[in-house]
A and B are shown apart, each in its own frame.
Chain A
Amino acid sequence: MAEIEFTEETKQQVERIGSADIVVGVAGSMAPEDLRLRAERIIEDLGSGVPPLRFVFAWPGSGAEPVASLLDRPAHASLTVFPFTPPAHPGSEFWAPVSANQRAILALAASLSARACIVIGSDLGALNAHAIQLFAYAILDRQCGLAMPVYPAGKYDGLVNIGILSPLSRALYGRRIRYPLAFDFATSGAMSARLVRGEPSANHHGNPLLWPVTLAATQSPQDPVGQVHIDVRHQISTEGLELSAVLGQVVGSLFQDLETFAPQWQRIRGSQLAPVWGNAPAEERDGDPIDTRSMLDSFLLGSKNLDEVWRLVLPPNTMLELRRLTRVAPEQFRIADELWAGIVYDFALAYHLRTISRVHLLGALTPLYLGWAASYAREVATLTRAALEQRQEQFARAWEEKKPYLLSRWRWPDRFNP
């Protein structure tokens, strides 16, 4: 079973409950009463099946909360709500606590032998009957091992995801998933256990973040992965955090998994479509165009200050191209897809080889990322929604086509290259 060690109190709760059909876990602190009301509403909205599905709603709570009364008055026989004490986790910033709670929920689901586990972000945006039903459909009816969300997003939303996380995850692990790092997702019972159990042994040094797609593709490649439309716009709290810190944690974590799963991702070629169920929102807001001037300034500043670091990481041709970009007019500034993919691959390799300190390395990626983001934002500003989708697909394919470059450099990391 799961390696996660719960408190005695939580273990007793699990023992008392015994088993469940679906575990819905909230990966962060919230108001328990709010959870109970929503849970009851969901049960009512879903109606009663024959036999009724046994739901357990869990959240990371503490003894100070008035939870006893909650536990004692379930409105439905098929509903159980209870708090669990989350195990300690190494990181305290940004995404690390979310991942720690997600892991704990998966472990609870495995302990309860749940047929499905649905993990929900702490803002409870996805805690509604429609989202729960969609996730359950993907897992129970379509036999998916993992269901990831597709969130509504404007053109300029989630650029770190669009620019690095999604295409890198897709190229490496062969699953066309829009959001490989998500607040909400669902797993089958077997996958819950596998994600938790497979992780620590495979990942010797422990990755603070949980990448469900990575684990599913490497630990259980035969299980289908699907996606469901979830109409939620999560507000990610990065207040007070430098962009480089965010990149450091999120991109660094993805780079770390490259090392752990090298034998697996090096054998995956091409990518598989991951079906999407549910309906996308009728209209999606793109938000206001962003001002790219400051981004470009950061890139230019970085090219002056970080030239030496970049030269340690990037091959001469890439450096030449970057230098050319510093000389072009802002309106002509454009980082080609394959150039950007190659840069990220080179940084992933340098992370693996520890060419320089990893913190400094990811810091040195930040101005490059801003340069790419500026280039991308300018390019997509005039695109229609359909054209944008097509452009993003083209962008992701460029990463796949460039993957042999990463492989060759990974396998023979000679600095004497073009």
Chain B
Amino acid sequence: MPETQTILRKPGSATDPLWYKDAIIYEVAVKSFFDSNNDGIGDFAGLMQKLDYLQDLGVTCLWLLPFFPSPLRDDGYDISDYMSVHPSYGTLDDFQRFLDGAHDRGLQVMIELVINHTSDQHPWFQRARHAPPGSPERNYYVWSDTDQKYKDARIIFTDTEKSNWTWDPVAQTYYWHRFFSHQPDLNYDNPEVLEKVLEVMRYWLDMGVDALRIDAIPYLVERDGTNCENLPETHAVIKSVRTAIDERYAGRMVLAEANQWPTDVRPYFGDGDECHMAFHFPLMPRIYMALRQEDRLPITDIMAQTPEIPDNCQWGLFLRNHDELTLEMVSDDERDYMYLAYSADPRMRINIGIRRRLAPLLDNNRRRIELLNSILFSFPGTPILYYGDEIGMGDNIYLGDRNGVRTPMQWTADRNAGFSRANPAKLYSPVIMDPVWGYEAINVEAQQNDPSSLLNWMRNMVALRKLFQVFGRGTLHFLDPSNRKILAYLRKYQEATILCVANLSRFAQPVQLDLAAMEGMTPVEMLGYVEFPAITRQPYSLTLGPYGFLWLELQPALGMAEPAMDGREEQAFYVESETDWQSILSGDGVRRLEALMPGYLQAQRWFGGKSKRISHARVADSLLFNQNRSALVWVSVEYSEGEPETWLVSLAISFGEAANAIRQSCPQQILATAGTATRSGVLHEGMIGGSAPAALLDIIADGRQLRTRSGNLHGLPGSLLPTLRGAEPLTPRLGGAEQSNTSAIFGDRLILKLFRRQQQGSNPDVEIGRFLTETARFANIPPFGGSIEARRADEEPSTIALLQGLVPNEGDGWEWSLDELDRYFESTASVRSPATSAAFALDFAPWEAREHAGVYLEAAATLGRRTGEMHLALTSAKDPDFAPCVPGAHDLELMRDQLMNHASLAFDALKGSISRLPDDTIEAAGLALSRRGALIGKFRSLASLQDAGRWIRIHGDYHLGQVLRSRGDFVILDFEGEPARPLAERRARQSPLKDVAGMLRSFSYAAYVALTRYTSRRPEDFSQLESWARLWEVSASGEFLRAYREIVDGSPIVPASREGFDSLLAIYMLDKALYELVYELNNRPAWIRIPLHGILSLPL
């Protein structure tokens, strides 16, 4: 953005643009906090009087529930005037005074932007219903002559609403509402509506509001044939909102309310250009479940499903809020369990959730309250406290709706809990008065005077959390101790490493943690600054009391403290310009760089050696390019165990504003400070900014050769590159979150992949890509554009980068399949169960499958054809690297032994874990174990196969996520294989049926994952839809196989006989399912039913 615009942007009250990452948010309803004028309703003047209390508590941001004029039929979420204050709460001047008062105390303020709907009393709606159809006024809302439109959208308030359409007698037509019928949805297909909403937003931001919580964000736009949630058009609206904010304002934040699975919430962050924050809804019930079950798995499981988010984004975490403890994002069984565990009285339940406060949910057990808060404060995200929970306030389940958790704040033991001096009958809600939870027992004043009170504990914890940015900004890594009652995790940010250990059990628990990677560090307990014994390579033993928790800051051992500090000082490189590499890549600089490298590598997403302890890092080679503005450094990494590896690090130096931007947006990509006494800069990831990717592209395009310190770098253009590149200049940008490489995207034409792990020999992605494009002319892959190789004497060349044409697509095959399955379940939900087959694939899809999933089955057949064509294309009589070979008896015996060994280990693991499996999978697990002998015996037949086909170069890691849906066809991606495996293994020839098995297992996963997602919204449909899921899987598999066979029929690459084909395929499928079994046992026990189902489906 030009500097002049930057200056014009109106700042918020916080100086750090990422302030929300370090914030402690306090949710409060104005009406509930303090009544200054004794009318029985809290108001802004009252809230103002309590700002000192909030400042003292240590919270940094106040989230105000809706305070706008409203008929109050949905606690203020039915707004009738966006630009004013409800008279019960005060005036706009009162609000401005409150806002200024909060800012004076260093508190930010977040308000509600309820833009999905208005009240039916809003002038816009009143005007719309009286306006003629089609008029601009009418178009502010969504109207229809029929109530059958958008019929795939679910009803959210099932307790009160029967339809999302309500007849309006004035307009003589139906209007659309996702929530209550008195809350008509705004029509975002009308650009004028968005403009009005932006006006509202600017009005409050101009007043100085720091943050906006966008209510009901998934439902902004409706489209027929969809469930009207999370639509691309909705994201377009959000992007417009964000753009409007960024154009005029600085330091503001938008928080998304999207009660969805983390993967569905992820798009609301966009590429960091939609919402800054979003609630993590599914985590909250699982914290309670883990506590009650005394088992960490519910928490680790949901966190494993939580995707990475852009660096400038943040999750919002909470234990309780003004709504019910929502159970929408849990399975049927989990919901039943939660009801049994936390809502003994049916009155405690509402909608799909439990309407209780934190302390009553935990039976008022102080240790449990502290434990859950410790998790809240130490998990990655910004904690949100609900007013009153800091003193352990109770609830009143006899009040209607969710009003039981919205009672007046309990300030003192005086009348009305010190909330108001009005006649008690005049209060907006009765105060809580029972002997345990009543205001005489629980109030702020009493707890302020009690040094051991929950309030003082919370204040200390809040202050402690604020001292460590690592809690708000650091990475999360779970440890995996055998005692599952212990939740242990590491948080890392820059130089800080925190170990958090929590005992979820009501009894004391021992635990041994594998901290060998931190050998030599000293854990210092953070609350009392108590030093613990130093970490060694042996398991680290701790004992935690009932519901105990420990926060341990891992520091260099005391004896190392002084050198460490001096070392850090020396880590700054003294460089004078962006091209001054002398003091970094030579002499002492190299030693400094090597000392810094382990810490830097461990923080990089692409670094695959995180689980191992780095004993030494050495700069093996380096190259300057891009007119010396960029460097590539080959770093040889030695581990305490295992073989050394070489990793490619790209570096650049930035000063001034560029350096500041990197410090703010991606601090983990800074390796060190660099500069002079007068010029501050940073040494950082070199691919940031775009000039390095552009220079790499030029190296390829020009076929340039450059000298590294100990070898050469060669640009190798592909024959199609001029066509792929085009004549227009291309602006590069970095790709999204990748696990093992770094990609730069050039406009809509090219993608450059920088390979981080360096191994001698051609990278299969390059080798196969080049072969398929230039020799086999196989069209269904991204076209090969070129590559860069490093060559050194006495070494095989290694691949630095791969350039490919960018393929227009509608998303990867996995997401596309899940979307299709969602529609499939919608259409089959009301149909009786189909007849299913025990086979793992049907030769012909039955009519029921064709009727409901016809489009997908055609696509599966297309995919089968493309897979067969790919395999045929991967054989060449001329190129020795692609020549097929006939596996000999020895090869098959070797393979048999390996597979049987894997299988034995998998069954052992299953047997050892059976007592910890979910109840509904134990029977299947037992059945699989009872078939152990027969199943392992299947592998024995390998050695006796008369015809195992030819072994060829294959994809090697083939599943739905490796294909793109593109213009009704598929494009196959990523021939790199598993980067963690040696290149020789990844380049080895294998039976093409291994790829086929991989894709068939992927269909199985897609069916089950989609079923789980779908029935999380409609749990009552699970058993009905399970048989439909099975039908989908076998039909899709059958179509895929049928088409595949048609293509490869007659080719020697597969066994000639049908029996031989099926037999070999079944072996690969069993091996794949057993591999999945071990993976799920270690990571996601709740998902184990998928591989078990796959194993049991195979014919014996």
Contacts and interface: CB of A to CB of B under 8 A. Distances in A.
A222 B572 contact: yes
A411 B527 contact: yes
A416 B456 CA distance: 13
A263 B528 CA distance: 15
A263 B468 CA distance: 7
Contacts, number: 76
Contacts of B469: 263
A272 B106 contact: no
A269 B569 contact: no
26 contacts: A139-B677, A143-B677, A145-B677, A188-B678, A189-B678, A190-B677, A221-B568, A222-B569, A222-B571, A223-B677, A263-B466, A263-B467, A267-B496, A269-B562, A269-B565, A271-B562, A272-B562, A272-B565, A408-B530, A411-B460, A411-B464, A411-B467, A412-B460, A412-B464, A412-B528, A416-B451
Interface in A369-418: 404, 407-408, 411-416
B774 to A, nearest CB: 51
A224 interface: yes
Interface string B451-463: 1100000001001
B592 to A, nearest CB: 12
B529 A272 contact: no
B561 A269 contact: yes
A411 B457 CA distance: 11
A268 interface: yes
Contacts of B463: 411
A59 to B, nearest CB: 25
A411 B562 contact: no
Given A222-B572, A263-B468, A270-B565, A115 B678 contact: yes
B529 A408 contact: yes
A269 B555 contact: yes
A272 B569 contact: yes
Interface in B517-557: 526-531, 555
B15 interface: yes
Nearest to B106: A204
Given A221-B569, A411-B460, A188 B468 contact: no
B17 to A, nearest CB: 13
Given A143-B574, A143-B677, A412 B569 contact: no
B1027 interface: no
Given A143-B574, A189-B677, A272-B569, A201 B15 contact: yes
B571 to A, nearest CB: 8
A190 B679 contact: yes
B503 interface: no
Interface in A239-273: 262-263, 266-272
A190 B680 contact: yes
A135 to B, nearest CB: 14
A302 interface: no
Contacts of B464: 411-412
Interface in B570-585: 571-572, 574
A208 interface: no
Given A174-B565, A224-B569, A269-B561, A415 B677 contact: no
A115 B555 CA distance: 37
A408 B531 CA distance: 11
A407 B555 CA distance: 15
Contacts of B528: 408, 411-412
B673 interface: yes
Nearest to B556: A269
Contacts of A190: 677-680
Contacts of A201: 15
Given A115-B677, A188-B678, 14 more contacts: A143-B574, A145-B677, A190-B677, A190-B680, A201-B15, A222-B569, A266-B467, A270-B562, A407-B529, A411-B460, A411-B527, A412-B460, A412-B528, A414-B460
Q: Which of B469, B564, B680 has the most CB of A within 10 A?
A: B680
A270 B566 CA distance: 10
Given A174-B565, A270-B565, A272-B565, A412 B677 contact: no
Contacts of B568: 221-222
A272 B527 contact: no
Contacts of A271: 562
Nearest to B573: A222
Contacts of A404: 529, 531
Nearest to A204: B106
A413 B496 CA distance: 23
Contacts of A144: 677
Contacts of A269: 555, 558, 561-562, 564-565
A266 B470 CA distance: 14
Contacts of A272: 562, 565-566, 569
A350 to B, nearest CB: 14
A145 B679 CA distance: 11
Contacts of A204: 106
Interface string A17-42: 00000000000000000000000000
Contacts of A222: 568-569, 571-572, 673
Given A204-B106, A263-B468, A412 B561 contact: no
Q: Which of B561, B564, B679 has the most CB of A within 10 A?
A: B561
Contacts of A191: 677
Q: Which of B496, B528, B673, B677 has the most CB of A within 10 A?
A: B677
B561 A270 contact: yes
Contacts of A415: 451
Given A263-B468, A411-B460, A412-B527, A268 B565 contact: yes
A174 B469 CA distance: 21
A144 B680 CA distance: 14
